[in-house]
Structure 1
Amino acid sequence: MKKMTIKLTLLFLLVLAGCANDSESEKTAELTVSAAASMTDSLLEVKEAFEKEHPAIKISYNFGGSGALRKQIEQGAPIDLFFSASKTDYDKLVKQDMVQDGTAIFQNELVLIKSNQTDLNSRDDLMQQGGSIAVGTPDAVPAGTYAKEVLENIGVWEELQDRQMLVFTKDVSQVVTLVSQGAVDVGIVYASDVIARDDVTVIDRFDPSLHATIEYYAAIIESEEQQSEVMQAREAFYQYVLENEAKDIFRKYGFLIME
């Protein structure tokens, strides 16, 4: 009887040990990723595909203007990865030794879009008839920085300001929203922002020579995190966005992949 009891006790302990191991192996690593608002749709699809392949890793996004997101990281926000639509913001983090690993991943184009509720059909119409033009706030939103550069190079920035035609936004997604709702007549956004939309119309594509090259960067942010599963998850997601499956998703959304 004693032998039977001992055997049952040992079996029970083994089962408990096995359950503990299973629980440990299924432990979820959670990553917080800050990303340019212009990547919202594409990164949501990347998240879905990635989590199917890596069920023990969960991604939580924080979308916004790259400049504002970069400042949050500088102020100590617990961010695992950063996707920037601005080389300047990426470089600032690199110079502060806040990037563990990073690289340029693709490029974009700048376009002028109009509301389907306005009869403006060109830049000339805008200047002749007046109206409102939405752009990201240049100091915080890369698309706004590029837009200002374009408008300065074609010689209309000062006039637009003097005539109070400029409407500044917190990110590029807000520009699209204002245009689609008819709250403004036109806006300057990335080509990728409107590739799948039918509620706005592209009326001009700006010559790339009018602005700095629009490059997006992916970066693993330096962290004091020591948990191995989190460190491995950060690297896994970073490598995933560089692979062909993720590239195909970005390409579908209008980004120009850098081979």
Structure 2
Amino acid sequence: MSIKKKYFYIPVIMFLALFFLTCSKSDNRLVLFVAASLYAPFQEINNELGGKLAIDYGGSQALVNKVILGAEPDVLVTAGYDPIRRIKEFDESLIYREYDFLENSVVLVSKKEDKFEGLDQICLGDFTIGIADPDIAPLGKYTMEIMKKFVQCDLSLIRKNLKISQNAMSLKTSLQYGHIDFAFVYRSDLYNLSTLGYKLVFKNDQLFQPIIKYPIVLLNEPDQKLEDDLNELLMFNKSKKAKAIFLKNGFSVID
């Protein structure tokens, strides 16, 4: 990207971040920035709470960029702790409180019936491999860490076969069109993708990536008007009903 284009995009991004902030705060709802991989369970939770939440979904790094640029959500939920560390490095005072919340993992899925001995064999083949963008989505970062463990999956060898999506949510959308042979997704996505014919390529997927923790972070001390809604959200997330929602979508709640 040229320097001219780069400087053009900076004010645009700042405007969009602050525009969202203004619109969300004006209706006096609790504002959440939530990792794209949590779209399905949080939509269901918001319905259970009567639509009290104003939720912006996106890649965790992209959401953190908005916070650093001045957006002020009440709650932030990211995939992994790296995005939260970025906020702390920028300004630790932005973090009011944080909790361990959910667990997830990365798996490889495909519609192919063939049996594969390992990831190297797939990388050597003429297959398209879908990944999330490692620069803005933790799923992409975790995927890169996995691929670096396999000699034949070096980016210089397979770059032409990669199909890069913006985040976990847009990668799932790409899979719906069926133009990708393999894709690295969160285990939590497997439930919905299985209805499209996708399944695990390797049963022992835990060899790829350890458990990924999703923290829930309070970025502001809530005012009196929002405190009740915040407490209701936090209490509901520990309820049996919420745990069932997350479990159905492939997540486990950390007690």
Q: Is TM > 0.5 for Structure 1 vs Structure 2?
A: yes
Segments ≥4 residues shifted beyond 6 Å: none
Q: Deviations over 1:128-148 (max 9, x none)?
A: 431211111112111111111
**Which structure has the bigger radius of gyration?**
1
Q: How far is the alpha carbon of 1:157 from its aligned partner? A: 3.3
Contact 2:105 2:210 in 1 (8 A): no
- What letter is aligned with 1:204? F
Contact 1:35 1:82 in 2 (8 A): yes
Q: Residue in 2 aligned with 1:13?
A: none
- What letter is aligned with 1:196? N
Provide structure 1 residue ranges, at least 5 long, that are not aligned to the other structure: 1-27, 52-56
Q: Deviations over 1:97-143 (max 9, x none)?
A: 212121111211211112x4x56654465334312111111121111
Q: Residue in 1 aligned with 2:250?
A: 254
- What letter is aligned with 2:81? K
Q: Separation in 2 of the partners of 1:205 and 1:220? A: 36
Correspondences of 1:81-96 after superposition (within 5 Å) = 81-95=75-89, 96=92
Q: Residue in 1 aligned with 2:217?
A: 219
Seen in structure 2, the aligned counterparts of structure 1 residues 124 and 152 have a Cα distance that, compared at 3 Å, is closer
Provide structure 2 residue ranges, at least 5 long, that are not aligned to the other structure: 1-26
Of 93, 97, 102, the match for 2:93? 97
Q: TM-score normalized by structure 1? A: 0.76
Aligned residue pairs, count: 223
Q: Deviations over 1:5-32 (max 9, x none)?
A: xxxxxxxxxxxxxxxxxxxxxxx84122
Q: Structure 1 residue 131 and structure 2 residue 127: aligned?
A: yes
Q: Residue in 1 aligned with 2:22?
A: none
Q: TM-score normalized by structure 2? A: 0.77
Q: Residue in 1 aligned with 2:55?
A: 61
Correspondences of 1:149-188 after superposition (within 5 Å) = 149-159=145-155, 161-188=157-184
Correspondences of 1:8-19 after superposition (within 5 Å) = none
Contact 1:34 1:79 in 2 (8 A): yes
Match of 1:77, SS?
coil
Contact 2:146 2:208 in 1 (8 A): yes
Of 205, 208, 223, the match for 2:206? 208
- What letter is aligned with 2:215? Y
Q: Residue in 1 aligned with 2:140?
A: 144
Indicate the RMSD between aligned Cα atoms, in angstroms.
2.4
Contact 1:220 1:234 in 2 (8 A): no
Contact 2:103 2:251 in 1 (8 A): yes
Q: How far is the alpha carbon of 1:221 from its aligned partner? A: 1.2
